[in-house]
Structure 1
């Protein structure tokens, strides 16, 4: 049995029943059998593993505010103009098609023009666009459509795309897809592949399940004919073997599909634009270790603001709330902003998180993944009362902290 609605064995039916029962406390209207079976298939109908997977996904969606990301987050202009990819048309059986001109990506241009976290959020937006498209296609075709087709064009893909910071983001995006958007991909068709694609695919393999690896199809020189076997000619741009063009005659349909290209110099951000540079704090995080900094919030809905950069190499950054008095490991604290590696040696990382309740909050600079390089972090972190966040936008400074420099081999507060 396939494990899809209408094609379940007796054992699979029982697993679905148990799964539904285990999730009673988090059930939502959209958690129908189609939705629940995706998570069960992703974990080979192991109910306990599927439950862990789905609960982690719900926590992640809350932390990243995924439910509102299409309406409330505006990506930097450089991403909307120069990040390749977009939805266009559908297959003969109604599956949405995502076209990704991967070879036209300018990784250095983008990573020097926006934050790594913005790129991750942009990819989340893409995933949510795809989920919305699946719903629209289901309504249009009168049946449940759960999968998409991806066409990856590796024309012009080269050595510059294998730049390590770009590969790091590629790995993070891969790590996001399967835990949070399982059973969405039907097939990925690779066209215009060259030897650099082989290198990339070998890098990607450890992050892909066997099922996902089986969904990657490498097409040869006759790829246009192969694509037209599953996609009607009017549902593909001329560039990819169809007949569709933009209103202005663009054969790539660039109004819907980002075509990438070299990022102009004027988009590049200054590496460091921290304010009150004479009053910044510094901390050196030794190789293989982490530093935890405590901040206290006395009012509900206060705001923790942060600005920081490293003098060389990336570092991971996260924010947590202590849930017990006294010593507590980060792993046991409540995640406010989950720890994520950021390229703050290239572009300063800044932002803010709302602290919904009073308590002790822990900012983590994590270098445990590096066994070679220590990292010197220059930062400005504050907890502001709720009303101060509005003044922050008009102020010339986040404020200041006492100068200090701490050199630690391992810190546990």
Structure 2
């Protein structure tokens, strides 16, 4: 595989002639570059008028490689041949170099140029490119490739510093100006003798090299090239190899991309997301540009107008900047009715709104870069989780969230500089377990999570936000205009026909199972837990009637009846002969659920065995008590006539390893958040759950 390097345009704010005088001081030896052992001139020639000077040198460089590799190769230094063409008339120096040592195994080619700055003739531009092709090297091709490119890029920076060193030396010695070249006066008879068909570009030869032909064309910088000062000022500090990757990726876009070329800050984000692996970054960027074109994302800020409902109930917005000058986005997720928003505006509208936030974030970064005079390419997000509960784990909502995370990770990489999560409640580890596997590791390392009120002291928000911009709802003095969110009225939900049109209802029904609950025939689902501590989560909607939901634990495995795999007729698994407290025990107090309500909850298991999720029909007080112990206060007689209840439900088990893994992740990046609290709303005191009626 051929490795390539391309430098940005480096600018010396000195005239070309003075830079050339500094360059010549590098020969025959250069103490400032220890690997450069010396050089000797092989051939030299000048044009008749002295305008073009050609020098060919042999340069010796010390091999900086592991001792074993040097011993196998049998060399301590390598020889390069360098050919310089200096054109005083055009004010250019073109340099070509290639290796002679191991030329049949390793091919190194380098091209450099010094030219006059296109906008300031008193400045000099320098560009450098190289390629490395290791065809065979005793089985050490990969190791040699890494060593060679690492050393080469390290010497790139050193070469620029050497020129600056000799420039300063010349100036300190009193040489601050060197006159430009002018042709020598030519006598009339000499002019006549030179007239004729002779090629005016040919050279008179002083050495054995012969006539090298016409001087090469002048290389002039243009608007499509990046200079090093611009990179440092607007993009931040990059290593020589990182600069090279940026220039190569940008050049590839200019050659192949037919649409609008992304800004340099945007290209750089894709390189950072792939650790400056050029091929991977190029493929990621290619797919993203195709996605942007397909969905017209470049015009999103001009065309997208969020619905009034979204503006009122989407609890997020921009709010000044953090202490590093990054734009600050505040999201009050705990106050946001994600389920209601999805049912009222649809998943696509929410996704488009999230994309508009990311587009606006990039625009604000550019503005802050100009305002603060330093590169700012990412923003900070402050997420307030006060109020977060199990309704936020509504399964279609979680799936939509994961989809949004995937789209943002693929198309807006490295835009998040820091994520501050405050007031994380006990239910947060469940949500974190579900979403963290889908978040890039580099992104996860930017998360700082605070539970309770420990975000207020040292090590909290004051380390990242000026006191003047901390929102009032977090104890600060700054009035925050971010919408407070709240429950979306059901009257604003999309109709079933509209949901079908947006393809959401079908996806919802594919995820959820339907069940009927009859009098005397509860619906039950058995969940087998092999380890002591796992998390069972549930989510169900009551479509018709009122039901009572309970959770039981049994060491016995219920035996399904013959009519239906996994359940008895009517969905009942428990045998009516079972005795509560003997054959099975209740681990969640009965919860009355009314028609139209959405219920979410979770339970941290303490013992292995079988857990039973149970839904029974509920009737108002005054009816005959049921025969099942423990729920007489909420159930009517099982055998009295009445209509059936309907529900849609979903449940999921988070394995102990995954759940504990999420807790370990939290412990590594938060203060004081270690595990789910044992304090619960369960009257039995045996549960770590938090069931909730959200609607």
Please, what TM-score do these two structures have when normalized by structure 1? 0.61
Q: Deviations over 1:249-286 (max 9, x none)?
A: xxxx23xx122101123312221159xxxxxxx9xxxx
Query: Is 2:380–2:418's contact at 8 Å kept on the other side of the alignment?
Result: yes
Change (3 A) 1:84 1:273: closer
Q: Which residue of 1 aligns with 2:214?
A: none
- Residue 238 in structure 1 maps to residue 469 in structure 2: no
Q: Which residue of 2 aligns with 1:270?
A: 495
Query: Is 1:149–1:185's contact at 8 Å kept on the other side of the alignment?
Result: yes
Alpha-carbon separation, structure 1, partners of 2:380 and 2:502: 40
Gaps of 5+ in 2: 1-153, 155-230, 512-695
Query: How do residues 333-344 of structure 1 correspond to structure 2 at under 5 angstroms?
Result: none
Change (3 A) 1:235 1:30: farther
Query: Is 1:39–1:53's contact at 8 Å kept on the other side of the alignment?
Result: yes
Query: Is 2:253–2:261's contact at 8 Å kept on the other side of the alignment?
Result: no
Query: Is 2:346–2:502's contact at 8 Å kept on the other side of the alignment?
Result: no
Alpha-carbon separation, structure 2, partners of 1:164 and 1:102: 16
Change (3 A) 1:273 1:99: closer
Q: 1:77 Cα shift? A: 1.9
Q: Which residue of 2 aligns with 1:108?
A: 339
- Residue 41 in structure 1 maps to residue 272 in structure 2: yes
Query: Is 1:43–1:50's contact at 8 Å kept on the other side of the alignment?
Result: yes
Query: Is 2:335–2:484's contact at 8 Å kept on the other side of the alignment?
Result: yes
Q: Which residue of 2 aligns with 1:223?
A: 455
Q: Which has the higher contact order (CA 8 A, sep 6+)?
A: 1
Q: Which range is displaced more, 206-215 or 264-273?
A: 264-273
Q: Which residue of 2 aligns with 1:204?
A: 435
Q: Deviations over 1:78-107 (max 9, x none)?
A: 211111111101112211111111111112
Q: 1:36 Cα shift? A: 2.4
Q: Deviations over 1:282-332 (max 9, x none)?
A: 9xxxxxxxxxxxxxxxxxxxxxxx77676674679xxxxxxxxxxxxxxxx
Query: Is 1:88–1:236's contact at 8 Å kept on the other side of the alignment?
Result: no
Alpha-carbon separation, structure 1, partners of 2:349 and 2:274: 30
Q: How big is the alpha-carbon RMSD for the aligned residues of Structure 1 and Structure 2?
A: 2.7
Number of residue pairs aligned between Structure 1 and Structure 2: 276
Q: Which residue of 1 aligns with 2:239?
A: 9
Change (3 A) 1:178 1:309: closer
Query: Is 1:228–1:241's contact at 8 Å kept on the other side of the alignment?
Result: no
Alpha-carbon separation, structure 2, partners of 1:44 and 1:58: 19
Gaps of 5+ in 1: 246-252, 275-281, 283-305, 317-413
Change (3 A) 1:309 1:130: closer
Q: 1:168 Cα shift? A: 0.7
Q: 1:174 Cα shift? A: 0.7
Change (3 A) 1:67 1:32: closer
Query: Is 1:89–1:236's contact at 8 Å kept on the other side of the alignment?
Result: no
Change (3 A) 1:236 1:57: same
Query: Is 1:90–1:97's contact at 8 Å kept on the other side of the alignment?
Result: yes
Query: How do residues 45-84 of structure 1 correspond to structure 2 at under 5 angstroms?
Result: 45-84=276-315
Query: How do residues 284-299 of structure 1 correspond to structure 2 at under 5 angstroms?
Result: none
Q: Which residue of 1 aligns with 2:178?
A: none
Query: Is 1:106–1:260's contact at 8 Å kept on the other side of the alignment?
Result: yes
Alpha-carbon separation, structure 1, partners of 2:503 and 2:282: 37
Query: Is 1:148–1:186's contact at 8 Å kept on the other side of the alignment?
Result: yes
Query: Is 1:86–1:100's contact at 8 Å kept on the other side of the alignment?
Result: yes
Q: Deviations over 1:328-386 (max 9, x none)?
A: xxxxxxxxxxxxxxxxxxxxxxxxxxxxxxxxxxxxxxxxxxxxxxxxxxxxxxxxxxx
Change (3 A) 1:235 1:199: same
2:249 to 10, 15, 19: 19
Alpha-carbon separation, structure 2, partners of 1:121 and 1:209: 22
Alpha-carbon separation, structure 2, partners of 1:127 and 1:139: 19
- Residue 168 in structure 1 maps to residue 399 in structure 2: yes
Q: 1:119 Cα shift? A: 0.9
Q: 1:111 Cα shift? A: 1.9
Greater Rg, structure 1 or structure 2? 2
Q: What secondary structure sits across from 1:219 in the alignment? A: strand
Query: Is 2:236–2:375's contact at 8 Å kept on the other side of the alignment?
Result: no
Alpha-carbon separation, structure 1, partners of 2:239 and 2:258: 24
Query: How do residues 401-412 of structure 1 correspond to structure 2 at under 5 angstroms?
Result: none
